[in-house]
Amino acid sequence: MLLLSLDGFHALDLENYRQSHPASTLAVLVARGVSYTNATTSSPSDSFPATLAMVTGGSPVSTGIYYDVSWDDALSPAGSDCSTRGTVVPYNESVNFSTALRFTSINPAKLPRDPEHGCAPVYPHQYLRVNTIYEVIKAAGLRTAAADKHPSYELLHGPSGTGVDDLYTPEINPDKKDIKLTMDNDELKVKAVLNQIAGYASTDDARANFVGVPAIFGMNFQAPNIGQKFSGYTDAAGTPATVTTLGPNTGKAPGLAQAFDYVDEALGRMMAALDAQGLTDSTLVIVTAKHANSPVNRSLLRLIDPAKTLVPLINSIQAGLAAQVTDDTNALIWLKDRSLAADVAAVLQANAATIGAESIYVGDQIDGLFGGELAGNPSRRPDIIVEPVLGVVYAAANSKLADHGGFHEEDLHVPLVLVWPRRDAGTVDQPVSLRQVAPTILHALGLHKRDLDAVRLEKTHSLPGLDDDDED
């Protein structure tokens, strides 16, 4: 089971690349696989909830996680004695011992604390409220592996803390404003996957200790994501630029086009390695993206600094009212006094043009976004969500060309291709969700999808269009 995410990649990008590069690995995979042309990632379209969609079968309703940086009224601040409650819950690079090193780890002193459990630090896997496919697969006696962009992706272990046998997490932060360095960072994970295909641990480059091929492994590519943020497209049709457009390497290659080419070449090496090991006919390859990015059309780009717009408007209701504002192509807002949410929403609505707002959700409207009557997590759910018009990115001036997190088609519509051994290729046009990847993986391994907590809670089905698809 090889699970691959090309972060930032749109369904449009896959179709364009396949058409313009008919001999590419991506084109070959599409020709061999089942393509889901109407696949949607999580809402919000952030890496954390999207990853969890694929590995739990759930949305924030059941996972309890809305974004990589959020707020929780029930926890206490990092480094505190837990005498107060309410804190930012940051599960990005900010909890590392160092934010400037590729190879680092989580510093427990930077983690939120749980006053109900001896004021102990809360690791990402402990914050997750449902189990993962890695736990189910490992419980069946199979080896598990994964690679991702922050040490905080120890989240994949699941609540047990032990779901992934071989977890490899080189930190992306030092490289994320440079397309070439991002490709170098991706290459670390590519080499890890190649080692695993050969039956060795991710970091065993000498291939000295054979441990066996994992039943599930894979990685995420950051190159498409960073390429879109700092190189972008040359037109509204999605033609990738060949040079860096923004930042210290402006006017220089590589650009987004080279990032796409690198990913395709790396995928080719993985497929060749599977062939060389005789694993092609026994490996389900899944190619998708945790999220896409917007805007594709750079003429729509409008950068709005939330520190100068959203936060002052929130605090105009009450000084210091803004507890946490998590913003990209949306804004998730938590308040220190939740009873004032309607008042804040009214002020934001009155300034909709200034903040580029298309829709503002508050109260029951937020429950509707996250499952209606199923919605829970009262200490965690945002108080207000601002969905801006397409093209608005909440960020400082001249900082990026695109981002993700929102609910627009350009953020949500991702590629999804399953190359299923000994199955006919085809196309499925009906709407599907990345949540359906998790039960499909377990079904393909001959395991029970209802062993996943979120699948039972949300009644998540396997992906359609597979010969022996199981909808129990």
Instruction: Convert the pLDDT of each residue in 398-428 to its tens digit.
Output: 999 999 999 999 999 999 999 988 789 999 9
**Whole-number Å distance between alpha carbons of 90 and 78:** 10
pLDDT of res. 89: 98
Q: Which of 82, 13, 92 is nearest to 51 (CA)?
A: 92
In angstroms, the Cα distances linking 76 to 59, 79, 114, 120, 152 are 25, 9, 6, 10, 19
Q: What is the mean pLDDT of residues 374-392?
A: 91
* 357-362 sheet: strands from edge to edge: 322-327, 331-335, 384-388, 357-362
Q: Is the pTM of this model over 0.85?
A: yes
Per the structure block, which two tokens stand in for 373?
């009557």
**Whole-number Å distance between alpha carbons of 131 and 455:** 10
For residue 326, which phi and psi values (nearest 5 degrees)?
-105, 120
Per the structure block, which two tokens stand in for 165?
């046998």
Angle, CA 53 vertex, CA 443 and CA 89 arms, to 5°: 145
Q: What is the mean pLDDT of residues 95-121?
A: 98
Judge contact between 94 and 110, C-beta under 8 A.
yes
Judge contact between 91 and 108, C-beta under 8 A.
no
Range with lowest mean pLDDT among 43-47, 165-169, 215-219, 370-374: 370-374
In angstroms, the Cα distances linking 57 to 4, 332, 354, 444 are 16, 23, 38, 15
pLDDT above 70 (res 472)? no
**Whole-number Å distance between alpha carbons of 246 and 449:** 45
Which residues pair with residue 40 across a beta bridge? 413, 433
Judge contact between 439 and 452, C-beta under 8 A.
yes
Residues 253-293: pLDDT tens digits? Answer: 999 999 999 999 999 999 999 999 999 999 999 999 999 99
Percent of the chain with pLDDT over 70: 98
Residues 85-97: pLDDT tens digits? Answer: 999 999 999 999 9
**Whole-number Å distance between alpha carbons of 243 and 251:** 5
pLDDT of res. 422: 78
Residue bearing tokens 């009873």? 339
Q: Report H helices in 337-390.
A: 341-350, 352-355, 364-369
Classified as helix, coil or strand, 399 is coil
Residues 117-173: pLDDT tens digits? Answer: 999 999 999 999 999 999 999 999 999 999 999 999 999 999 999 999 999 999 999
Per the structure block, which two tokens stand in for 372?
């209606």
Per the structure block, which two tokens stand in for 379?
């200490």
Burial (CB < 10 A; 0-12, 13-18, 19+), residue 237, is exposed
pLDDT of res. 468: 54
Residue type, 207: R
In angstroms, the Cα distances linking 16 to 100, 140, 159 are 35, 40, 40
For residue 220, which phi and psi values (nearest 5 degrees)?
-115, 140
**Whole-number Å distance between alpha carbons of 66 and 127:** 11
Per the structure block, which two tokens stand in for 261?
């080419």
Q: What is the mean pLDDT of residues 341-368?
A: 95
pLDDT above 70 (res 388)? yes
pLDDT of res. 146: 98
